[in-house]
Amino acid sequence: MPDIEQKIEEITGLISLLEIYLKLRRLMDDETSDIDDFARVIVVDPNLSTRVLKMVNSAYFGFPSRSTASRARSI
């Protein structure tokens, strides 16, 4: 799987769109927003999705199996 990991590293070079940032900013300012609201925005952005999955799948969290975007949302 080194090829996949290399491709993921290349993806992290992408920048997130201003639109995504603004949506997340609005959610942060809205006291009624929840994790599902954030997940719906993050999952459509390849850069943010990749970064979140890298964090969730890191040794720091120590989960027994690798997470997918939908599973990461529930953690």
Compute the mean pLDDT over every residue in the chain, rounded to the nearest whole number. 77
How much is the CA Rg of the chain, to the nearest whole Å? 13
DSSP-derived secondary structure for 25-62: HHHHH-TT--HHHHHHHHTT-HHHHHHHHHHHTSTTT-
pLDDT at 50: 84
**What is the spatial distance between Cα 27 and Cα 7, in angstroms, rounded to a whole number?**
30
**What is the spatial distance between Cα 75 and Cα 63, in angstroms, rounded to a whole number?**
10
Contact 35, 70 (CB under 8 A): no
Span 35-51, average pLDDT? 88
Residue 18 has pLDDT above 90, yes or no: no
Span 7-27, average pLDDT? 76
pTM of the model: 0.59
Span 54-72, average pLDDT? 68
